[in-house]
Amino acid sequence: MSSVRLISRTCAVLDALAGPPVGVTALAARVGLPKSTTGRLLQAMAEEGLVEQVSGGTDYRLGSRVTAWAAAVRPSRSLVAVAQPHLRALAAATGEASGLTVAEGAFVNHLLQEEGSPHPVLVRDWTGTRSPMHATAPGLVFLSRFDAAELDAYLAAPLERLAGGTMTDPAQLRARLSRVRAAGYAMTRDEVGEGISSIAAPIVDASGVVAGCAHVHWPTYRFPDADSPAVAAIRDRVIATAVAISEDLARGA
């Protein structure tokens, strides 16, 4: 069996097992292969964790390896659909630009931005751009959820300074990330760019994984006091929005 044909047949078997468990005879008929060939293929796939037999029976279903892959996939398209109405409401309530970001390796990817009030000075539209995690509020949220090995690897690499406020000292970042995790949000001022402030909070899926971040960003000069009631009100709305999106994700909305 050539490698290409083997891959094709393996995918056909996985597709056929996407529904309820099925026996070898029925599965062979579905994929158009001899029963003996299907049996050998199933045995090899079972050894790799791609399929497994139902306990106490002879039917097959998708294996733990495939379900683990599926659980690790973050459906960005569905996340955007769920988050967008919440982010529109957030932008309307705060008068500032709101957005949705997801993690991509050592970066955050800005998937969506909703504009707030038509101020004379607005922040740029970040949609479709990537930024290093340590320089952004959403990135700090993601980093605060990294396990020890992941965080060590990130902090071992050079930390780019994007603006005057970018924190690039690993020890200071570790301490900051502990505070971010405890607080449930992150705030940056003049870190991803001069004159830009942002607050982000985690969006958690049904499995407890941070699927993305909701955030609001604005020109720093608009609220120069980080401890002002106006900034606190934005923070509270960002956190509430992230919780509402998380709840909709859990319900499959």
| Higher local confidence (pLDDT), 206 or 93 | 93
Residue 63's pLDDT band (boundaries 50, 70, 90)? Answer: confident
Length reported for the chain = 253
In angstroms, the Cα distances linking 215 to 3, 27, 66, 190 are: 46, 48, 33, 15
Answering whether pTM is above 0.75, one says no
Q: Quote the pLDDT of residue 180.
A: 97
Each domain of the chain, given as residue ranges in start order, spans 3-72, 76-251
Q: pLDDT tens for residues 122-154?
A: 555 667 778 899 999 999 999 999 989 899 999
CATH topology of domain 3-72: Arc Repressor Mutant, subunit A (1.10.10)
Same fold, 3-72 and 76-251: no
Residue 70's pLDDT band (boundaries 50, 70, 90)? Answer: low
C-alpha torsion angle, residues 102, 104, 106, 112 (rounded to 10)? -40
Q: Does domain 76-251 have CATH number 3.30.450.40?
A: yes
